[in-house]
C-alpha cells in the first residue's frame, strides 16, 4: 500500500444530475487508483440469536420467537456489499447517495461493488472497493451485510454470489413489484443505522438445495446449489409434454404428464408456483411446495410438504420429450430420460432484515402488491377496507 493520499474536492458530472456530489476522502489507494478487497481482513461472523416474545402465554409459539436479532460482538461491521438493479437512473442515484452517506457517517466501513458496477461508479465514488476478477470467494470471506437496490430479481441475485451462508440482507424496494422487499429507499438512513448498530430484526427465509443425478444414480458435479424460490423441471422448448415421476422420501408419489413440476419454498410461493396455481405460504411456515405446471390430469393439485422432505423429480424413461432443469429461473441444463434431481431443505437460510411486526407487513403486502381477493365489482377499492383501521388509502 502507498501512504495516505488526499483526494481533492471534485464535482462529478454524469448523465444523471443527481449523481453529481462534492466529496472529500483520505482513503489510501493503490498506484492504479483502484481499491480491491484483497486489502480487507477476513470478517468476524456476527452473533445471530432468536428473539423472545413478551407474550404471557408461552405454550403457543409466538411470531417473534421465529425471528432473530443481530449482534456484531460489540464492534461495527467492516464491509458492506451494495447490489443494484441494472440500467435504472433512479437506482444509480440511490447507490451514489447511500455510498456517500456511509462513507461520511461510517468511514471505517468498506463499501464493495460488483465489478461491472464498480467500473460504472469508480470515477465518481473513488472510495469503493472492487472484487478482483475470478475471485468469487471474496464475497464470502469479507462481506458482513448486503444492501440491495432494485426488485425481487435483484434480491434473488444475492443468493447466487455466496456458495453457502449469505450475510444479512437489507432489501430496498426500487423494482417493479418488490413483494420480498419491506423497506422504502427513502428510509435508508434509519434502516442502515439499525443494522450497523445491531438492533435490526432478521427474518430467516428458507432455501432449497438441489442435487443432480445421471440415470445410473451418479451424482452430477453441477449439483449442490442453493435456491431461494424454486427448483423446477420443465419441458422448455420441446413440443411434446414431458413425463416426470415425483418421489417423496424415495416413495413414488405420482407420475405427471405435462409441462413440468415445481418444488418451491414459502418465499417462492408468490413467484412461479403462484402462477401455476400453487398456494400462498407465509414465510415462517417451514415447508416445501410441489406445484404441477399445466398437467394433463386435472386431479393433480398442489401439495404442501414438511421441510424435512426429500423430493426427487425424474424424467421418466418412456417420456416422449426431454426436459430442462431451472433453478430460480436460471437454465441449469438438459435432463435426459432417466436423469433426475433431488431437492431438500438447505442448511443455509437467507437472513433478511425485516419489519419488527411481520404479520402486519405481510398482510399489507399481499393486499396492496398482490391485490389479494380483489373482486371484479370494485375495480378501484377493496369492498371491506373499512374493516381494517390500518388500511392505507391508495
Tell me the catalytic residues. Answer: 152
Report the relative pairing of strands 68-71 and 35-36 from DSSP bridges.
Answer: unpaired
How far from 67 is each of 70, 74, 150, CA to CA, in Å? 10, 21, 24
Name every residue whose Cβ is closer than 8 Å to that of residue 234 and which is 6 or more positions away in sequence.
242, 259, 260, 293, 323, 324, 326
CB contact at 8 A, 226 and 207: yes
Question: What residues pair up with 70 in beta bridges, in sequence order?
Answer: 48
- Closest Cα partner for 100 from 197, 3, 7? 7
* Rounded Cα gap, residues 291 and 127, in angstroms: 47
CB contact at 8 A, 243 and 315: yes
* Rounded Cα gap, residues 352 and 182, in angstroms: 10
DSSP per-residue codes, 246-271 = EEETTEEEEEEEEEEEEEE-TGGGGT
CB contact at 8 A, 221 and 193: no
* Rounded Cα gap, residues 297 and 28, in angstroms: 65
CA angle at 389 for the pair 383 and 392, rounded to the nearest 5°: 70
Helix (H, G, I), strand (E, B) or coil at 48: strand
CA angle at 39 for the pair 37 and 42, rounded to the nearest 5°: 80
Per DSSP, 307 falls in state: T
Helix and strand numbers, DSSP H then E, in the chain: 7, 24
Q: How far is CA 271 from the centre of its chain?
A: 12
* Rounded Cα gap, residues 269 and 230, in angstroms: 8
Q: Is 343 exposed, middle or buried (0-12, 13-18, 19+ CB in 10 A)?
A: buried
Amino acid at each position: 500500500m502507498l501512504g495516505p493520499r488526499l483526494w481533492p474536492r471534485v464535482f462529478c458530472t454524469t448523465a444523471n444530475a443527481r449523481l453529481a456530489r462534492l466529496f472529500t476522502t483520505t482513503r489510501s489507494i493503490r498506484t492504479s487508483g483502484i481499491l480491491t478487497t484483497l486489502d480487507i481482513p477476513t470478517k468476524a461472523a456476527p452473533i445471530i440469536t432468536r428473539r423472545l416474545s413478551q407474550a404471557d402465554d408461552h405454550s403457543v409459539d409466538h411470531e417473534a420467537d421465529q425471528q432473530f436479532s443481530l449482534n456484531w460482538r460489540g464492534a461495527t461491521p467492516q464491509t458492506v456489499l451494495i447490489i443494484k438493479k441494472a440500467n435504472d437512473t433512479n437506482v444509480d442515484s440511490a447507490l451514489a447517495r447511500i455510498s456517500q452517506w456511509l462513507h461520511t457517517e461510517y468511514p471505517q466501513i468498506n463499501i464493495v461493488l460488483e465489478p461491472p458496477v464498480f467500473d460504472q461508479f469508480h470515477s465518481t465514488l473513488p472510495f469503493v472497493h472492487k472484487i478482483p476478477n475470478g475471485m468469487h470467494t471474496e464475497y464470502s470471506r469479507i462481506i458482513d451485510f448486503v444492501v440491495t437496490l432494485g426488485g425481487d430479481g435483484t434480491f434473488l441475485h444475492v443468493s447466487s454470489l455466496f456458495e453457502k451462508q449469505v450475510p444479512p440482507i437489507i432489501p430496498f424496494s426500487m423494482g417493479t413489484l418488490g413483494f420480498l422487499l419491506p423497506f422504502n429507499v427513502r428510509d435508508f438512513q434509519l434502516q442502515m443505522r439499525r443494522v450497523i448498530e445491531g438492533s435490526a430484526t432478521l427474518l430467516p427465509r428458507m432455501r432449497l438445495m438441489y442435487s443432480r443425478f445421471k440415470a445410473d444414480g451418479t451424482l452430477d458435479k453441477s449439483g449442490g446449489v442453493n435456491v431461494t424460490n424454486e427448483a423446477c423441471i420443465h419441458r422448455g422448448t420441446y413440443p411434446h409434454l414431458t413425463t416426470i415421476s415425483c418421489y417423496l422420501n424415495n416413495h413414488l408419489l405420482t407420475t405427471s404428464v405435462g409441462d413440468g413440476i415445481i418444488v418451491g419454498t414459502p418465499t417462492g410461493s408468490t413467484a412461479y408456483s403462484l402462477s401455476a396455481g400453487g398456494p400462498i405460504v407465509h414465510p415462517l411456515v417451514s415447508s416445501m411446495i410441489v406445484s404441477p405446471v399445466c398437467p394433463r390430469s386435472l386431479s393433480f393439485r398442489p401439495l404442501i410438504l414438511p421441510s424435512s422432505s426429500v423430493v426427487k423429480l425424474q424424467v421418466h424413461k418412456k417420456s416422449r420429450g426431454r426436459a430442462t432443469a431451472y433453478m430460480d429461473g436460471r437454465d441449469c441444463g438438459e435432463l435426459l430420460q432417466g436423469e433426475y434431481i433431488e431437492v431438500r431443505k438447505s442448511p443455509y437460510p437467507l437472513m433478511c432484515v425485516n419489519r419488527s411486526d411481520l404479520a402486519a407487513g405481510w398482510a399489507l403486502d399481499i393486499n396492496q402488491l398482490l391485490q389479494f381477493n380483489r373482486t371484479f365489482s370494485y375495480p378501484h377499492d377493496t369492498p371491506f377496507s373499512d374493516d381494517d383501521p390500518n388500511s392505507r388509502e391508495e
